[in-house]
Chains A and B, each alone.
Chain A
């Protein structure tokens, strides 16, 4: 059970302890059960690389990896991910040592405003590791959970194709 009494739950929000391993670092949080993983990452842990576009699974801007799988951080509660391993865009690569997908996005100009980019990059890294980046039509289908309002789609597809060829399966970034 969560910590406080379930009486008066609207007046006094119940809270729960959550342990998340984010980019290899252990975080112990006390959050309301209703807090999404996305809000916990951005508002509590302070990692704002993961973006909030729609907050309901429709845009992919919030894509992170949980235990190596790409998921929408806005569709899962932080309490549900207690004890799990989360990778955000901050943990994928560094400016000095970018992930092959990040390098390919820069080389291919695969962004305009950049708002969708962290989600695109996280989804793309998973898409390649899954083996779903084998041809442009397949990349389009398996990246359809990530929208880009600037419509940088041709460049995004080109970047993913290039990264997939450079690094067909990156075991460090599985699924």
Chain B
């Protein structure tokens, strides 16, 4: 076992207990452990205290009426296992993009352990960040530089907003949730707050969570009548691989004319990237029209990739076109 240090471990009895424990400096929640255990073992994470949240697990998916918005939305429990959310009948029928994103994530074994909150809060897969041998990485040791800038760049962002770090966030679920305007429910001893998934990450692929914060649930608003959605993942092998780029698409059609569209792209930034400009340009276009591609291109005008990631701009634009058309023909 490499040079990890010991840590203490406590099972939280309930949310209040967890919040008290999480106020300990450096304390971290552990849910499925599928990301944190590896980071602890390799010495990347050096938390002194793990707070096990297993006892806080509630019903994986709750269907909740949301009067101001019309139809019912859903609330995903923070501790819900990825496999259970993906298998949920309501999710599959109403939000296929969520079920698809989850079933295209990791492996069945990982999905049986990994949870909703743990998935959203997982760390970047940047190989230099996770390297066992010391490597320049500003995220791991501030001021040490960034090996990715002079190394393998396939995994780096094409929208780079952070001066030090060009990492991308690996969660597929986050991309689907961003397209659906979902919100993360966070509790701390100071109170509760709600953070849109699109604002849950900083440009360097870290979450905005602070010491003492606990994610308790994710709320997904209702979709409009006739909503269709799909997730497209482009990767280096057919299965069990992180995305090179991915796209979550949700669309409402009038015949074959786009009435509304929501698109989020993964693998291109430190967080899911909503194609906001494209979404308005798409309204009124026919799903199969060539103009769909030009509309989507408007959202990539600001891309500034490193040389080794230039190809991902074209790849992401094409993935967005395909995801949109897959959503439109999916029911």
Contacts and interface: CB of A to CB of B under 8 A. Distances in A.
Interface stretch (B104-112, B158-166, B311-319): B104-112
Contacts of B131: none
A168 interface: no
A2 B8 contact: yes
Interface string A121-164: 00100110010100000001110111000000000000000000
Contacts of B9: 2, 14, 16, 33, 77, 79
B8 A123 contact: no
Interface string A33-56: 110100000000000000000011
Given A123-B108, A145-B107, A72 B34 contact: yes
A80 B6 contact: no
A83 to B, nearest CB: 10
B6 A32 contact: yes
B48 A75 contact: no
Interface residues of B, number: 33
Chain B at the A interface: SS class: mixed
Contacts of B30: 77, 80
A75 B33 contact: yes
Interface stretch (A63-71, A87-95, A101-109, A110-118): A63-71
A16 B6 CA distance: 12
Contact of A72 (B5, B52, B110): B110
Nearest to A64: B109
B8 A6 contact: yes
Contacts of A60: 107, 109
Contacts of B11: 82
Given A2-B8, A9-B48, A141-B239, A76 B110 contact: no
Given A1-B8, A80-B30, A145 B108 contact: yes
B8 A57 contact: no
A80 B108 contact: no
A76 B113 contact: yes
A77 B108 contact: no
Nearest to B4: A34
Contact of A77 (B5, B33, B83): B33
A34 B110 contact: no
B153 to A, nearest CB: 22
Contacts of B48: 6, 9
Interface string A1-12: 110001001100
B50 interface: yes
Given A6-B8, A34-B6, A79-B9, A145 B109 contact: yes
B19 to A, nearest CB: 17
A63 B109 contact: yes
B82 to A, nearest CB: 12
Contacts of A141: 239
A34 B109 contact: no
B32 interface: yes
Contacts of A36: 37, 41
Contacts of A130: 108
B1 to A, nearest CB: 8
B283 interface: no
Contacts of B34: 57, 72, 75-76
By CB atoms of chain B within 10 A, which of A9, A77, A126 has the most? A77
B40 interface: yes
Contacts of B107: 57, 60, 72, 144-146
Interface of B: 1, 4-11, 30, 32-34, 37-38, 40-41, 48-50, 52, 54, 83, 106-110, 112-113, 238-240
Interface of A: 1-2, 6, 9-10, 13-14, 16, 32-34, 36, 55-57, 60, 63, 69-72, 74-77, 79-80, 82, 123, 126-127, 130, 132, 140-142, 144-146, 175
6 contacts: A2-B8, A10-B5, A79-B52, A123-B109, A126-B108, A127-B108
Given A33-B8, A60-B109, 8 more contacts: A6-B48, A16-B9, A57-B38, A75-B34, A130-B108, A140-B239, A144-B238, A146-B107
The 8 closest A-B pairs by CB, nearest first: A145-B107, A33-B9, A144-B239, A144-B240, A13-B6, A69-B112, A75-B34, A56-B38
